[in-house]
Structure formats: C-alpha cells, structure tokens
Chains A and B, each alone.
Chain A
Amino acid sequence: MENYEALVHRTFGGQRPDVRDPKVLAWLIRRNGLEMTHLSRGSHIGSVFSVAEIIAVLYARILKVDPRNPKMPDRDRLILSKGHAGSAVYAALAETGFFPVERLKTHYADGSTLSGHVSHKGVPGVEVSTGSLGHGLGIGVGMALGARMDGASWRTYVVMGDGECDEGAVWEAALQAAQYGLDRLIAVVDYNHMQSLTTVEETLRLEPFEAKWRDFGWNVRSVNGHDPEALEQAFVQAKEAAGSGKPNMILAHTVKGKGVSFMENNILWHYRTPQGGEYEAALKELEAERP
C-alpha cells in the first residue's frame, strides 16, 4: 500500500494542508474517515461526516490545546461523548500534529489502540474513552466543577449525539450542570435527526429540543452544524457566556453522511462500510469538493 498520508493528502499536490482552516480540517476529517472505514471495513462513517465541521472548528479555532504538550495543565478539555465518531477526533488529532497521520491506517486493526470508539489509552490528546452513550456530559460536569474549584480558566467541551439524548444519564447531568451553574461547560449536540435504526422522530422524539435545554436551565444556540463560521461564532458566544451562571448548549443542525450525496440522510451509512464502487464514488465526490 502506498504511504497513507500521501494518499489522503494527494489532492493538495504536495502542499501541506492548512489545518487552521476549519474547512480544510473538516475535509481532512472526512477524507481520513472514508479511508479509515474503508481500510478497516469499519462503521459509523455517516456519524463522522455529520460531526466533521464541529470537530474541525473546535480543533482549528476554539480549543486551547498544544500538540507538543497534550497534558498541558490549563488546556481545554474535549470529551467526544458520541464515541462512535472516534475516527473524526483521531483524524483531527493526527492532522493537527498530536501523532503521525500514518498511524490512522491502524484504526480497528489487530493490536491497534485506535479503537472504533474513541480511546484515551496510548492516544495523545484524547481525554476520555467513551463508546457507551450518555457518559460524557456527566464526566464533563465533573471536569468543569474541578476547574471551577481550582479557579482555572480552561473550558470543558462535550460533543454529543442526538440519539445519545435517549439516555437518562444525559438529563441527570443536564440538571446537575445547571444546578451548579457551570458556565464554562460547553456542550454541542450533533443534531442529524438519525440514530441507529431510524430517525430520531420515529424513535424517541427530542423536539422541542431547544426548549428542553432552555427549560433545563441552559443557554442554547442553534446553528447550521456544517457552517464553520456559524459554528465558530456560536462557540465564541458560548465562551463569552462565562459569568452567565448557566451551562451552554449548541444545537448543531447537521446531516448524517454529509459530503457524499448517496450517504446523506441515509440510515444505511450508520453501519455500512464503504467498499468497491461505493468507496470510489465517495472518494470522487470528496476530492471534487476539496477546499
């Protein structure tokens, strides 16, 4: 197999992609996500494509993290609570220098530490291992509490799924975050309206979703989750809400499978692995859209 990094970067014609540009980083998340799920015959590509801009904006523009010092004490903490989109975070970490891009090809492989669901063991930059849904917000509440007890300025970010909000523990943590007034906690829901078997609406309805979070005592912003500028603005506003005494929720309206026409809003691509002609077609579409 040709050098993995050269393969996923080939459309940049030898130029180093500018990963501080969220559009570029989002594209790289999708390109790596496609390659990783293709090589590993892995799943959840639809979720990776859905969350790509959210993760890209966080790593390119928002998070105070240092790839050369992943354990920097005053770093921002990111918890990917929808751990099944782990390859999006792995890709963002590799592309921003936490570990070699080449390592991404070991995703799912025998003996690899890049597990299907995001893992912190042996992966610099990952704070918390997840995979069972509904844990991340509670962990984030604890981290935000700890930061406040220390008088620290860093923030805690939790990226959740909409289907994940079926879990009761999410709402336990939602109550706790509001009760403790954790205004340096910023959660974002990748609201693509699809879960494992069918749509959110046909499973457990979340609407009126914005009102739910507001009624739980959160500051809420709804944005287009594929618009990097809108996302960045929402994150900046959420950061500025420190002092409001309320935790912050960003409802990012997204499309599952975003970026490849035949994957968009198609539940099949929660689990299906891109192989053969489907892989080729997806690659062609992605490469045509490279920013």
Chain B
Amino acid sequence: MRDAFVRVLLESMAANDRIVLITGDLGFGVLRPVWERFPKQILNAGIAEQSMVSMAAGLAATGRTVLVYSIGNFPTLRPLEQIRNDCAYHGADVKIVCVGGGFVYGSLGMSHHATEDQSILRALPGVTCFTPGDPAEAEWAVREALRTPGTCYLRLGRANEPKVHASALPDVRGPLSLTLQTGGDLAILSSGGILTQAVEAARLLAEKGIRAEVVSFPSLKPLDEAKVKELLDRFRRIVTVEENTVVGGFGSAVCEIAAEAGTGCRVRRIGLEDTYSTVVGSQQYLRQVYGIDGPSIAGKAEAFLHE
C-alpha cells in the first residue's frame, strides 16, 4: 500500500505543483523519490505532529492540497485536536496519511499499534476516511482522497502486502465497496488491511461447506450505505472484520445502519475486544493472538451462524 501511495503521489505532484507533503520526520527510504523529484513540494516538520497538522491547515489556506505523513498513531491521535479544529472545521484540504494501520508495526509495541484510529477519526465531522484493503484499493483511495475536497484520513498498511484484487480498480468515485466473492450463507464485510484475513476466512469456511460473500469497504466514511442495506436485506448473518477496536469503528458503522434498518439480520463485530495489545510480534502473530486472523474469523463466523 505504501508503494501504491508513493506512486500515485509522484504522479499527482508531477501534474499539480500545489500538492505539498509534510512528513513528521519519517519515511526515510519511502519518500526519497519525492525529495529527489519534487524538493519544493516536500517539507520535514520534525517530530512535532501537533504543529505539523496546524501548519498543514495554514498551508492549505493558501490554496494547496497538503498531505501529512507519519506512522501509526502519530499523525492521528497525537494531533487529534489540530485535525478537528484547524483542518476539519475549516474544511482544509489536508490529507492525513497514516502508514502502519493496525498491527503493521507489531514488534514495536503498543505505542505503535494503531488500533483505535478508525473509530476516532470516523467520529470527526468533515473527515472523509479511507481504509483500503490491498495495494489496488490503496491506489484508488489515494486518487480519491486527492480529488475529494477537504480533510481526509488515509489509513494505509505497509509495503509489499499480498494483492487481493488481481488488477487495478476502476477509477470510480466513492463511497466504494467491492464484492470479492458471492455466497449465500453469510456475508463477511471487511474494511482495511485485514481484508486478506477475511478472504482467508471465507476460504476456510468454504472447506466446511459454508458459502460466505466477501465485501471490502475501502471507504470507511462515508460508507457505501446502499451496499450495506442490500446485504442486510439478503443475509440473516453478517460478520464485520477490522484491525481496530470493535468500539466505534467499521463494525459499529455497519451496526448503526443495521439497527436503523431493522431488517432482522444480525451483525457480529470482529476486531480488538476493547483492549490494548500487551505482547509484541509479527502482524500475523498479533492478529492470531487478538482473534482477527483468518482461522479466528472463520471460527467466530461459523459459531455465529449456528447461534
């Protein structure tokens, strides 16, 4: 996803010299091509995220699209009030870019685990949120964020994730949802980099004769509500998955629609159970520990189906 981000960024900067990126002293190798090709369109704000986001709002007020780049919780929770007051309230054309959503920086510890940002950023009025699930979705999301006026949040994974979509996505306007496979027994709705695990869960369920429909939602806010409603009408069981707390995130967004629609379809949220991580390890190890890897999702979905 990171590489897709840089590729689209370079392309966009070449076409538009009013796109500026501010990094919070991160992205040593990743941003090197930007420094080399567009030195006038990139700045290092230092390790000063609060002021970096205020600065982005001020720069945007001079008619620029400003991307703010950092990792984990640093560009989101640290300067949260600056995102709220200085960017979103002013409709500032600022794109907050987080690399390392979820457990990407698994071995670095709790400080580097971004596991509430989906919930918290989603709650801010005036912030369009993108949580792509693979490099193709990331490429679409970066393009969409750059052409969406106002403040956006872009939650990316890492580099070299497996591709879920075989080819580039159609260049359509959001909110976007993508059906990866159809099935009649239940639907698995996924948002963000956990998509690979949702697909794996569907595969494991298929081995047991359970046919799951898998739908990815790279637009977290606004959500493709029409698609969610359609799924609520067609299924009696929906499972949501996210690499984020179950409180207030993607699953909550689906539940909000479900509760108001009142279709009788039940929803089970799968994510971190209102907890912080206390152990470290690879991203996949932590997904397993916290019950959000493919086998865990499959097990929870199957149990839910039989409730």
Distance (whole angstroms) from the CB of A129 to the closest CB of chain B = 6
Which of A150, A156, A172 contacts B46, CB < 8 Å? A172
Establish whether residues A132 and B85, one from each chain, have CB atoms under 8 Å apart when the complex forms: yes
Q: Which of A103-159 touch B at CB < 8 Å? A: 120, 127-132, 134-147, 149-150, 156
> What residues of B have a CB within 8 angstroms of the CB of A173 in the complex?
48, 51, 54-55
Cβ–Cβ contact B46 & A139, under 8 A: no
If over half of B's interface residues share one DSSP class (helix, strand or loop), that class is named, otherwise mixed; here it is helix
Q: How far is the CB of A155 from chain B (nearest CB, A)?
A: 13
What A residues does B57 contact at CB under 8 A?
A: 138-139, 142
Q: Which of A120, A156, A172, A175 has the most CB of B within 10 A?
A: A172
Asked, given contacts A132-B85, A135-B85, A176-B51, whether A146 binds B58 with beta carbons under 8 Å apart, the answer is yes
8 Å CB interface, B1-58 against A:
20, 40, 43, 45-46, 48, 50-58
CB pair A149–B40 under 8 Å, yes or no, is yes
Q: How far is the CB of A119 from chain B (nearest CB, A)?
A: 9
Which residues 161-185 of A have a CB within 8 angstroms of B?
A: 168-169, 172-173, 175-176, 179-180
Report if A175-B86 is in contact (Cβ < 8 Å); known contacts: A141-B54, A143-B62, A147-B62.
Answer: no
Do the beta carbons of B90 and A128 come within 8 Å of each other?
yes
Supposing A129-B85, A145-B43 touch, asked if A139 and B58 sit within 8 A by C-beta, the answer is yes
Given A149-B62, A150-B62, residue A142 in contact with residue B55 (CB < 8 A): yes
A131 to chain B: which residues have CB within 8 Å? 85
Contact of B48 among A135, A136, A145, A172 (CB under 8 A): A172
B58: A residues at CB distance < 8 A:
138-146, 156
Contact size range, B: 20 to 34
Please judge, given known A-B contacts A135-B85, A176-B46, A179-B46, whether A129 and B55 are in contact too, CB under 8 Å: no
Question: In chain B, what residue has the closest Cβ to A141?
Answer: B55
Chain A residues with Cβ below 8 Å from B40 are 149
Residue in chain B with minimal CB distance to A173: B51
Inter-chain contacts of A137 with B (CB < 8 A): 51, 54
Distance of A179 Cα from B82 Cα, bound (Å):
21
| Cα distance A139–B55 in the bound complex, in angstroms | 5
Contact of B45 among A129, A132, A176 (CB under 8 A): A176
Instruction: Specify which chain B residues have a CB less than 8 angstroms from the CB of A120 in the assembled complex.
Output: 90
CB distance from A163 to the nearest CB of B (A): 17
- On chain A, the residues within 8 Å of B59 by CB distance are 142-143, 145-146
Complex Cα distance A129/B89, Å? 8
Whether B61 sits at the interface, judged by CB under 8 Å, is yes
Nearest-CB residue, chain B, relative to A77: B61
Interface pairs (6), CB distance under 8 Å: A129-B90, A138-B58, A140-B58, A141-B51, A142-B66, A172-B51
Taking A142-B54, A142-B56, A180-B43 as given, write out 20 further A-B residue pairs in contact, using a Cβ cutoff of 8 Å, ordered by the A residue number: A128-B86, A129-B85, A129-B89, A131-B85, A132-B85, A135-B81, A138-B51, A139-B55, A139-B57, A140-B58, A141-B55, A142-B57, A142-B66, A150-B62, A156-B58, A168-B50, A172-B46, A173-B55, A175-B46, A175-B48
